[in-house]
Amino acid sequence: MAVVTIVGGQWGDEGKGKIIDLLAKKAKIVARFSGGDNAGHTVVNPHGEFRLHLIPSGIFYPEVTCIIGNGVVINPAVLLQEIKDLSNHGVDTNRLFVSDRAHLIMPYHTLLDALEEERRSKGALGTTRRGIGPAFADKVARSGIRVGDLLDKETFRNRLSAALELKNIILTEVYQASPLSLEEIYNQYCHYGEQIASFIQETSSMIHEAVAKGEPVLLEGAQGALLDPDFGTYPYVTSSSPLAAAGCVGVGLGPKEIDRVVGVFKAYNTRVGAGPMPTELKDETGNLIREKAHEYGATTGRPRRCGWFDAVAGRFSVQINGITDIALTHLDIYDGFSQIKICTAYKFNDEVITSFPSNLDILEKCQPIYEEVEGWEESISGIRNFDKLPAEARNYMSRLEELLSCPINLVSVGPDRRQIISVKEFFS
């Protein structure tokens, strides 16, 4: 088995960074395939604690090549800061490559993200304000600027000048904001270009070569299935697909090459930003989960909304991603819970719904139908062997496997790389 795609199964922040940092040990390449610096992937390992926004979570192994794929949008200031932070911690970034096809986040993207959110007012989506939506919109509108354009100053200036002309009309005439200066952006981005030039590559061929040799490759997803623009809670979604299928397009690989799809799920649900979340707990239990698990955004610091595990949404996520293996994280947060609830269906008016509704008006009115299972008293964060887990924890997992029709093959019991129970080997 060679190519493994790792995706978020819920609304993001499931612990993908931790799982990738763990699995990358056996990989030759780790490649990020979507999103941008809206992502915040936390890694806790012998080098320290890191929140990675753009750089793949495999960067801590000197022999692993890390690629930021064509499907990612890149704010070069964030990338350079991240490279600097890692270097300051003694982490080598010489094996990092950035696809020349990836699109750039420009200053007008971040500005417009904020202005659009303010204009939406009460209907704000709660974006990370990192310019993600406007950058992906420009990509598909064919007015984006790509990382490779930075390598030729004349091309870059022409593209920037064409794009900025329209953006300044929007800024001044729609939003009554000040226009942005072509010279300032040009000089700033030329400077970034010089600093990242050595990282820029045609990266899909590097992945093809590794796959041809049968070398293990990990595709690192960002966000989570329920934030997908097609299948998520539209319009409360992000602007690139976090699904496994996007992993192929986001690095330039055919779907036949993917051997396994690992879906990372928390043992409960969280969501940052606006939009429906049927199992949200606005009570003491929700607060308890938030405080115990420090559920505050890795990118924006916003408190995450917390609730019981939603198996209706979870099953949908397994289906739309083609998940073959589940990595269940944060099981330790349930230590000391006498009862744990799982949402197995929704009630809509007098109807019982077991599939995830596409219509937001329906989803917003859905009431969770819960099943209760026994919890456990003891702390499980020191356990490394599946059989040593309390019977109640194993029972909770097997109920989730049944509801999601998918095996749980990794169990995370704490933030540290070592706090893991491996049920199955992913690279053979």
Question: Which one of residues 222, 248, 258, 262 is an interface residue with ligand IMO (CB under 6 A)?
Answer: 222
Q: What is the 3-state secondary structure (H, E, C) of 187-217?
A: HHHHHHHHHHHHHEECCHHHHHHHHHCCCCE
Q: What are phi and psi of 146, to 5 degrees?
A: -100, 160
> Minimal distance in Å, beta carbon 338 to ligand GDP?
19
Active site residue 294: no
- Residues 92, 87: Cα–Cα separation, whole Å: 6
Q: Which does 227 bind (CB under 5 to 8 A by kind): ligand GDP, Mg ion, ligand IMO, none?
A: ligand IMO
Phi, psi dihedral angles at 341 (to 5 degrees): -105, 150
Q: Is 13 a catalytic residue?
A: yes
Q: What is d(CA 50, CA 417) in angstroms, rounded to the nearest whole number?
A: 12
Spatial distance between the Cα atoms of 19 and 221, rounded to a whole number of angstroms: 11
Is position 227 an interface residue for ligand IMO (rule: CB under 6 A)?
A: yes
17 forms part of the interface with ligand GDP (CB under 6 A)? yes
- Residue environment code for 59-96, b if the CB has 16+ CB neighbours within 10 A, otherwise e: bbbeebbbbbbbbbbbbbebbbebbebbeeeebeeebb
Binding-site string for Mg ion from residue 8 to residue 27, where x marks contact by CB under 5 A and - marks none: -----x--------------
Contact code string over 2-31 relative to ligand IMO, x by CB under 6 A = ------x--xxx------------------
Tell me if 293 contacts Mg ion by CB under 5 A. Answer: no
362: Cβ contacts below 8 Å, ≥ 6 apart: 348, 353
40 binds ligand IMO (CB under 6 A): yes
107/133 with CB nearer ligand IMO: 133
> Per rule CB under 5 A, is residue 37 in the interface with Mg ion?
no
Residue of the chain from 196, 298, 306, 342 that contacts Mg ion (CB under 5 A): 298
The rounded distance, in Å, linking the Cα atoms of 321 and 238 is 16
Structure-token match 């890694």, residue found: 43
* Contact call for residue 39 and ligand IMO (CB under 6 A): yes
> Which residues form the catalytic set?
13, 41
| Contact set with ligand IMO (CB under 6 A) | 8, 11-13, 35, 38-41, 125-128, 130, 132-133, 222-224, 227, 238-239, 272-273, 298
